[in-house]
Amino acid sequence: MATVHNATIKRVTDKPRNPKNTANSQELEFINQFKTQIATGREVEPILVKKGNNTKFYLPIVTNAMCLQCHGSPGKELETITLAKIKQLYPLDMATGYSENEVRGIWSINFNN
């Protein structure tokens, strides 16, 4: 879809597992906005930023029960064997300790028109 729409699609977060997925300063602002909206029960709307021929789209990635198998709390949803593998592959991992209905990160999509 990225090729069809001439877009760059990435997932970014404030608590990365892979350091390549670390959000930039603008993306961190949007993550915090989405966290506030989710925490207060407000309806979440995507964010569109248009600048010239460029359109950027941001949408939160919200955790559910399935996400917690890899991003939940160790000893609860996150099994010891899974955590060991994560630590082996990503020694600087910061992406655990989540509960359901929390912002794990955002989709950051850049359309080059």
User: CATH number for the domain including 21?
Assistant: 3.30.450
pLDDT tier at 47, thresholds 50, 70, 90: very high
- Looking at the domain assignment, is residue 101 inside a domain? yes
Q: Provide the sign of the torsion angle of the four alpha carbons 102, 32, 34, 3, taken in this order.
A: negative
Q: What is the number of domains present in the chain?
A: 1
Q: Please indicate, yes or no, if residue 98 is contained in any of the structural domains.
A: yes
On whether the pTM is more than 0.85, the answer is yes
Q: Is 41 within the bounds of a domain?
A: yes
Residue 104 near residue 62 (C-beta atoms within 8 A): yes
Token pair recorded at residue 105: 């990160």
Do the domain assignments include residue 76? yes
Asked whether residue 50 is domain-assigned, the answer is yes
In a domain? residue 2? no
Q: Does pLDDT of 24 surpass 70?
A: yes
Q: With the CA atoms of 89, 92, 95 and 97 taken in that order, what torsion angle do they form, in degrees rounded to the nearest 10?
A: 110
Show the domain range for 66.
7-112
CB 93 within 8 A of CB 87: yes
Q: How confident is the model at residue 1 (pLDDT cuts 50, 70, 90)?
A: low
**In this predicted model, what pLDDT tens digit does every residue of 27-36 receive, in sequence order?**
999 999 999 9
Q: Check if the beta carbon of residue 109 is closer than 8 Å to that of residue 57.
A: yes
